[in-house]
Chain A
Amino acid sequence: MIAKNFHSSSFRDPSGYVFIEDGIIKRVIHPIYFEQYNKLTESGFFKVLFNNRLLIPHQELTYTNEQIVIQPNKISFITYPYEWSFNQYKEAALLTLKLQKYSLEHGFSLKDASAFNITFHNGKAIFIDTLSFDFYAENSPWRAYKQFITHFLGPLVLSYFHGAQMLKLISNFIDGIPVKMISSLLPFKTKLNPFLYSNIHLLAKLEEKHNEDYKGTSKKASLSKKAQLNIIESLYDYIKKLELKETSEWGKYYNKINYSNSAFILKSEIINSWIAEIKPKTLIDIGGNDGTFVRRINYKIEETLVCDIDNNAVDYNYKTLKINKEQFMLPFVLDVLNPSAAIGLNNKERFSFLDRIKEYAPDVTLALAVIHHMTLSGNVPFDKSAQFFSSFSKYLIIEFPKREDSWVKRLLNNKAEFKEHFDFYNLEAFEIAYSKYFEIIENKAIDGSERVMYLLKNKC
Chain B
Amino acid sequence: MIFLYFDPGLGAMIAQAVVAAVAAVVLFSKNLMYKVKLFFGLVKHNDEKDDVFDEINIKDSDLENKNSSDS
Contact = CB atoms under 8 A, between A and B. Distances in A.
Nearest to A51: B64
A53 B61 contact: no
B59 A52 contact: yes
A429 interface: no
8 contacts: A12-B5, A87-B52, A101-B56, A134-B2, A198-B18, A202-B18, A202-B19, A235-B23
A237 B44 CA distance: 17
B18 A49 contact: no
Given A14-B5, A102-B58, A134-B1, A210 B22 contact: no
A203 B11 contact: yes
A67 B52 CA distance: 40
A145 B27 contact: no
Contacts of B11: 146, 203, 205-211
Interface in B1-58: 1-6, 8-27, 30, 50, 52-54, 56-58
Interface in A32-49: 32-33, 44, 47-49
A94 interface: yes
A210 B57 contact: no
B10 A214 contact: yes
Question: Nearest 8 pairs between A and B by C-beta?
Answer: A206-B11, A146-B12, A207-B11, A234-B23, A227-B20, A221-B13, A322-B52, A210-B11
A228 B16 contact: yes
A143 interface: yes
B15 A198 contact: yes
A211 B21 CA distance: 23
Contacts of B63: 51
A141 B26 CA distance: 19
Given A44-B62, A125-B70, A207-B9, 14 more contacts: A14-B3, A98-B57, A101-B58, A124-B71, A134-B1, A142-B16, A146-B8, A228-B16, A230-B27, A231-B23, A233-B56, A234-B27, A322-B70, A323-B50
A236 interface: yes
Given A15-B2, A52-B58, A231 B20 contact: yes
A379 B44 CA distance: 53
A185 interface: no
Interface string A235-249: 111001000000000
B55 to A, nearest CB: 9
Interface size classification for chain A? 35 or more
A75 interface: no
B8 A143 contact: yes
Interface of B: 1-6, 8-27, 30, 50, 52-54, 56-65, 68-71
Interface string A374-388: 000000000000000
A135 B63 CA distance: 25
B53 A144 contact: no
Contacts of A98: 54, 56-58
B22 A198 contact: yes
A254 to B, nearest CB: 20
Given A209-B11, A233-B27, A221 B22 contact: no
Contacts of B12: 141, 145-146, 149, 203, 206-207
A76 B31 CA distance: 43
Contacts of A195: 22-23, 26
A8 B30 CA distance: 46
A218 interface: yes
B22 A141 contact: no
A423 interface: no
Interface string A12-32: 111100000000000000001
Nearest to B49: A323
Contacts of A240: 53
Contacts of B62: 44, 47-48, 51
Of A206, A223, A232, the most chain B CB neighbours within 10 A belong to A206
B52 A145 contact: no
B17 A221 contact: yes
Contacts of B14: 206, 210, 221
Interface in A122-144: 122-125, 134-135, 137, 141-144
Contacts of B15: 145, 198, 202-203, 206-207
Given A48-B61, A48-B62, A98-B58, A123 B18 contact: no
A251 interface: no
Contacts of A142: 16
A436 interface: no
B48 to A, nearest CB: 11
A112 B5 CA distance: 9
Contacts of B61: 48, 51-52
A90 B53 contact: yes
